[in-house]
Amino acid sequence: MTKEKVVVIKVGGAVVEDETQLSQLLQDFSAIEGKKVLVHGGGRRATQVAARLGIESKMVGGRRITDGEMLDVVTMVYGGLVNKNLVARLQAHHVNALGLTGADMNVIRSHRRPPVAVKGDAGTSQTIDYGYVGDVDTVDGQQLFQLLEQGIIPVMAPLTHDGEGHILNTNADTIASETAKALASYYEVTLVFCFEKKGVLSNPDDDNSVIPVITQADFDRYRADGTISGGMIPKIENALAAIRAGVRQVIITLATAIDGKSGTHIQ
């Protein structure tokens, strides 16, 4: 029996901040027929709000250090400002959207990431405490399935919870990947990571140097030689994990190309 299709679109904070790109994305997302999910970031907005509040933003390896003050900021920005504005704008496109964090309906449960050793230059290492950052344990695919079957479109913020009353900041690419994996039991899933570039670039100064296909072996090589670095590392790690877990296809592409016909395909 052929599974019904569902598309999970992840939009990054840079797109959320760019009105032209965001408007086009929401229009294109609204035009997708059938079942779909939108997962959003919002890191740039969180950094801006934190700065206005006098709170310093710290990043390591493309991931945000989240102390108590920063947790308040990301909860407000991701779960409120960004999420609800996206929901309202999708409703204007006649998309019956519902904004969710992982705490809503207990849909995503996480644990607080323990301190980890990170290698630095010249073989040195340091221990990094990411603070109130969550690593996903479970996604309730059944709950999401039930929403989708009712014609409700989940709009998911990058916040989860630990089941003990604590919100945790969680990488939006991870939310998208884990959501796609949980839905793979019910649907044929396409996961699209869209951002401000045409795909994964072999030369960051050349917007046309898109790498068309990346396998695990390719990723290991590109990461070792520095072709892929920073925030692109966790994005591709999550894409590869999704493929291994049964997601049909993963594409990294422009926010204006969510039809999947261009960009970098992860295999």
Instruction: Report the number of distinct structural domains present in the chain.
Output: 1
Domain membership of residue 224 (yes or no) is no
Domain membership of residue 218 (yes or no) is no
Stated pTM of the model: 0.91
**Higher per-residue pLDDT: 152 or 126:** 152
Domain membership of residue 112 (yes or no) is yes
Between CA 259 and CA 28 the distance in angstroms is 8
At 23, is the secondary structure helix, strand, or coil? helix
Q: Which residue range(s) make up the domain with 126?
A: 5-196+249-262
Q: How many CA atoms lie within 13 A of 83 on its CB side?
A: 22
What are 57-111's pLDDT values in tens digits?
A: 998 866 789 999 999 999 999 999 999 999 999 999 999 999 999 999 999 999 9
Domain membership of residue 185 (yes or no) is yes
What are 116-125's pLDDT values in tens digits?
A: 887 766 677 8
Domain membership of residue 210 (yes or no) is no
What are 146-162's pLDDT values in tens digits?
A: 999 999 999 999 999 99
Domain membership of residue 267 (yes or no) is no
Q: What is the pLDDT of residue 234?
A: 82
Domain membership of residue 29 (yes or no) is yes
Domain membership of residue 169 (yes or no) is yes
Q: What is the pLDDT of residue 122?
A: 65
Distance in Å from the first CA to the final CA of the chain? 24
What number is the average pLDDT over the span 219-226?
A: 96
Q: What is the pLDDT of residue 195?
A: 83
The domain that contains 13 carries what CATH number?
A: 3.40.1160.10
Enter the DSSP assignment of 114.
Answer: P
Closest listed residue to residue 180, CA positions, set 1, 2, 3, 9 = 9
pLDDT greater than 70 at residue 33:
yes
What are 9-26's pLDDT values in tens digits?
A: 999 888 888 899 899 999
pLDDT greater than 90 at residue 53:
yes
Q: What is the pLDDT of residue 61?
A: 67
Q: How confident is the model at residue 197 (pLDDT cuts 50, 70, 90)?
A: confident
Between CA 106 and CA 161 the distance in angstroms is 8
Percent of the chain with pLDDT over 70: 97
